[in-house]
Structure 1
Amino acid sequence: MKPLILLLTALCFHTVETNTLDTTRFLIQDLFQNYSKDIRPIEDQTKPIAVNVDLDLISLNDFDEVEGTISMVVVLYISWNDQNLIWNPSLYGNVSYLTFKQDKIWLPEMFLCNPADSLTPIGNGHHKVTVHANGSVTWQPSDLLKATCTPNVYRYPFDQQTCQLSLSSWGYYSQQVKITISSPTFYFNFFHQNIEWKVISSRTEVWSGTFDMGYFKLTIERRHLNFLVTVVIPIIMLAFVNPFVFLLPFNSGERTSYSITVLLAFTVYMTVVSDRMPASSQPISYISYYLLSLVGISVAIVTTNIFQIRIYSKHDDDEPVPKWVRKSYLFTRNLFRHREVKTNDQLKKSFGTEYHGIDIKGPQLLDTDSQNQNGDVFYTSVLPLAQVTEKSPTENLPIIYEKQQEVITWHMVAKMIDKMCFFLFFILTIATTMSYFISAGAH
């Protein structure tokens, strides 16, 4: 008889502890019998209800620097304690938690306070909530958030952007809802990489004033290789090709068209870059300054080239080279040659003979027929040119002047200016390009 009683007792307890459809239905009916989702679920209504919010980033869809917006798919992990939803699991078949639609209970609806389009609650009515026996509620709404984000394109395309999502339980003061964030960073449990942007870091913080607000800040960096290959490197190539116009012959007829073509190419690239930049003037991208500098250099090259063609086309008979231009030409030529042209050097080039120790002043005659016994050449007669008639048999000897004026033409002047302009603009292009990369990497 006793074993039978024990068996019946065990069956009764087993029936009570079983989680059945009826026990769950009874539990829900008891929980929501006097439940109002319009009242904050806290016994002391003078105290705020603590709401913890964490963010899980699913994907970074886009960052539009022109519009100044960022869009991402996120999941919010929101939890709080609902004192109206507490039960004893042993009385309801050991049911320790329930999952049902979110519209059945009070929710601390979260709003994105810096939206790019409209101010609407995050999530929709299809999400579920999980309620545990101790009254803790877990809600995980997800949504595509599009927030405003002021871009800083000064280092474009080597730029980093820091954007934030400002979340708040709109409509509740800080005395009613207290927002906390348990994680100092984002969660990346299901994150998918973006092809254009790379996530560098994330951080969270809470601001408390009239109402509480949670700030979720994300720092991203542009993957700049594509822009370097398609835009920056071709611009640099054009910049270094530009000064080579001064190496083209004047009679080629292509100098003007060459320089103007490069100038037009720079203007096209300025349009390409400006289409990717925001309309704001603060700050302006350094690549815009770089392109503007290259356009200025190109305009200077086109202008200089036009004047060069005009100089080369001058006729020496109609318009002789002025004295100051002649001196400037000789000075510049000596700089390029790193030495001065001496009189003995001129004599070598003219006669193929070196005259040692002879002080030649004024028009002179050199008598090479008179030699001493050793066969050395010596200076036998120094006579003015007007007196040399029949007195000397050296009438056919060359006359050496102290200073023979070198013939300098406009063609020679134009070619010398070409050399100077080539080196000047080439060095200027190098300096401008280096300053771009140094400034872009320094900030």
Structure 2
Amino acid sequence: MEDVKTLLADLMVNYSSEVRPVKDQTKPVSIDVGMSLVSINDFNEVTGVISVVIVLFLSWTDESLVWDSSSYNNTTSLTFSEKKIWVPKMYLINPADDFNPISSKHFKVTVLANGSVSWTPGRILQATCQPDVSKFPFDLQICTISVNPYGYLGTKVSLTANVPTINFGFYSPNSAWDIISTEAFVTSSGVDIASFTIEMSRRPLNFMVSVVIPIIMLALINPFVFILPFNSGERTSYSITVLLAFTVYMTVVSDRMPASSEPMSHLSYYLLSMLALSVFIVTVNIFQIRTYSKDDNEEPVPKWMKNLIKNFCNICRKGKVETKSRDPNETRKSSDKFESIKNHNMIRLESIDESDLTENQTHSKEKNHNEMSFSQPENITWYTVAKYADKLYFTAFLVFTGIASLVYFVEVVT
């Protein structure tokens, strides 16, 4: 202990913590810089601020702190308070709150007999970070923490990144972000700046379950208003309720987005398109209700509209016929069923009364006539027009919603 006290007293004789520790003052002090990330406390996309806990690893040579270890009972190292010697006070140059050095009186320095000094100050930092939420919630964020020995030019203090990445020996994982890659480098433009880049990806499950999936579900049930019965009286309230739900979710999403317009989130565009579609559905539904309620005697259905519905029915009927004719399995099943019925009827042919056969044929003709009336109505009323329009709107809006949802997922995942 006495040897260490003597060594420390001898080193501090004529030592000044205000003078750079090089005998030739025209040369810079070369400092190796590294960083260890302890934790990511928070990343606020709205304000563009990342809060992290970091530790800096700084090492340099102090030419005034060299001794012969054999003269002090083989003492090869000393550890004491940083305020006793010269240290390069490092400042965060992209701060979001205050501008204070990354150090305090509680951090220690370790000095070796050859003059090598190691210093590991740490602090909670809040740095600015420009967010890119275009693929939110599948977004990647790249944030940079830049430090500099404020007050010293590059000719006085030079920085060197001793390792090309950030150290994670003390890192505690974050529940919302995964670290993809890191990089450490030094840039010089009159002053040396050590920059540490962190690329991180969001864990999207929480936001998917709470926001994205409910929005897609709402979008998919939105067109189902057109299959509600007209007499139920719930069509208008149903469509307006869905519209209000989209408005609420737009507020929720906007609270998580930054106030800047560049870049915009694809989710915001998707939600806006679904909101516009919901407004259009409400408008169309109001006209549909009015169409259902029209009086055919006061305002007959126009002839061109009747022809349009008939042509639509013919196209649908031809499509069904072609589908059935192209299916060999159905044809084979129908043929087998016909042969079975034919054999059964031949056995019972003698016991069938002619009047019964006539009655069955008449019933069959009526059934075929009713089927044809259903497939192609003879008397087209406003109720019929509204009914076929409901089918058209339901199909069109459902297809549009499915395509928009698919495009959104492709954009944010790829």
TM normalised by structure 2 equals: 0.85
Return the alpha-carbon distance in structure 1 between the equivalents of residues 377 and 168 of structure 2: 83
Is the counterpart of residue 80 in structure 1 residue 26 in structure 2? no
C-alpha contact (below 8 Å) 1:66/1:277 kept by paired residues? yes
Return the alpha-carbon distance in structure 2 between the equivalents of residues 252 and 159 of structure 1: 44
Aligned residue number for residue 194 of structure 1: 174
Give CA-to-partner distance per residue, 1:177-210, whole Å, 9 cap, x none: 0100111101000110011111111001110111
Return the alpha-carbon distance in structure 2 between the equivalents of residues 340 and 88 of structure 1: 100
One-letter amino acid of the counterpart of residue 197, structure 1: W
C-alpha spacing 1:31/1:412, structure 2 compared with 1 (3 Å): same
Aligned residue number for residue 126 of structure 1: 106
Aligned match for 1:422, one of 377, 394, 398:
394
Aligned residue number for residue 440 of structure 1: 412
Aligned match for 1:249, one of 229, 239, 263:
229
* SS, match of residue 33 in structure 2: strand
C-alpha contact (below 8 Å) 2:40/2:52 kept by paired residues? yes
One-letter amino acid of the counterpart of residue 12, structure 2: F
Aligned match for 1:298, one of 237, 260, 278:
278
Give CA-to-partner distance per residue, 1:43-87, whole Å, 9 cap, x none: 111111101110011111110101100011111110000000000
TM normalised by structure 1 equals: 0.80
Q: Show structure 2 runs of 5+ residues with no match.
A: 322-375
Is the counterpart of residue 162 in structure 1 residue 142 in structure 2? yes
Cα RMSD of the aligned pairs, angstroms, is 1.4
Aligned residue number for residue 58 of structure 1: 38
Aligned match for 2:384, one of 408, 412, 421:
412
Give CA-to-partner distance per residue, 1:138-166, whole Å, 9 cap, x none: 00101001100010000000001000000
Deviation at 1:330, TM superposition (A): 1.2
Return the alpha-carbon distance in structure 2 between the equivalents of residues 231 and 104 of structure 1: 56
Is the counterpart of residue 217 in structure 1 residue 189 in structure 2? no
> 325-334 or 99-108, which moves further after superposition?
325-334
Aligned residue number for residue 101 of structure 1: 81
Q: Map residues 261-340 of structure 1 onto 2, 5 A cutoff.
A: 261-338=241-318
Aligned match for 2:239, one of 259, 262, 265:
259
C-alpha contact (below 8 Å) 1:334/1:340 kept by paired residues? no
Deviation at 1:335, TM superposition (A): 2.5
Return the alpha-carbon distance in structure 1 between the equivalents of residues 9 and 134 of structure 2: 61
Return the alpha-carbon distance in structure 1 between the equivalents of residues 194 and 171 of structure 2: 21
Give CA-to-partner distance per residue, 1:301-342, whole Å, 9 cap, x none: 11110000111111110101111111111122222223699x
Return the alpha-carbon distance in structure 2 between the equivalents of residues 42 and 340 of structure 1: 93
One-letter amino acid of the counterpart of residue 384, structure 2: M
C-alpha spacing 1:322/1:185, structure 2 compared with 1 (3 Å): same
C-alpha spacing 1:340/1:326, structure 2 compared with 1 (3 Å): farther
Return the alpha-carbon distance in structure 1 between the equivalents of residues 176 and 409 of structure 2: 21
Aligned residue number for residue 340 of structure 2: none
* SS, match of residue 294 in structure 2: coil
Count, aligned residues: 360
Give CA-to-partner distance per residue, 1:93-150, whole Å, 9 cap, x none: 1110100000000011100000001111002111000000000000010100110001
C-alpha spacing 1:405/1:168, structure 2 compared with 1 (3 Å): closer
Q: Map residues 382-401 of structure 1 onto 2, 5 A cutoff.
A: none
Deviation at 1:29, TM superposition (A): 1.3
Deviation at 1:230, TM superposition (A): 0.9
Return the alpha-carbon distance in structure 2 between the equivalents of residues 320 and 437 of structure 1: 47
One-letter amino acid of the counterpart of residue 408, structure 1: I
One-letter amino acid of the counterpart of residue 82, structure 1: D
Return the alpha-carbon distance in structure 1 between the equivalents of residues 225 and 190 of structure 2: 67
Deviation at 1:28, TM superposition (A): 1.1
* SS, match of residue 181 in structure 2: strand
Computing the radius of gyration over CA atoms, which structure comes out larger, 1 or 2?
1
Give CA-to-partner distance per residue, 1:262-281, whole Å, 9 cap, x none: 01001100011111111111
Deviation beyond 3 Å, 4+ runs, structure 1? none
C-alpha spacing 1:340/1:52, structure 2 compared with 1 (3 Å): closer
Return the alpha-carbon distance in structure 2 between the equivalents of residues 340 and 441 of structure 1: 38
Q: Show structure 1 runs of 5+ residues with no match.
A: 1-20, 342-403
Aligned residue number for residue 220 of structure 2: 240
Aligned residue number for residue 36 of structure 1: 16
Return the alpha-carbon distance in structure 1 between the equivalents of residues 5 and 162 of structure 2: 34
Return the alpha-carbon distance in structure 2 between the equivalents of residues 115 and 217 of structure 1: 15
Return the alpha-carbon distance in structure 2 between the equivalents of residues 229 and 211 of structure 1: 48
Of Structure 1 and Structure 2, which has the larger fraction of its residues in helix?
2
Aligned residue number for residue 45 of structure 1: 25
C-alpha contact (below 8 Å) 2:310/2:377 kept by paired residues? no
C-alpha contact (below 8 Å) 1:84/1:135 kept by paired residues? yes
Aligned residue number for residue 226 of structure 1: 206
Aligned residue number for residue 351 of structure 1: none
* SS, match of residue 47 in structure 2: coil
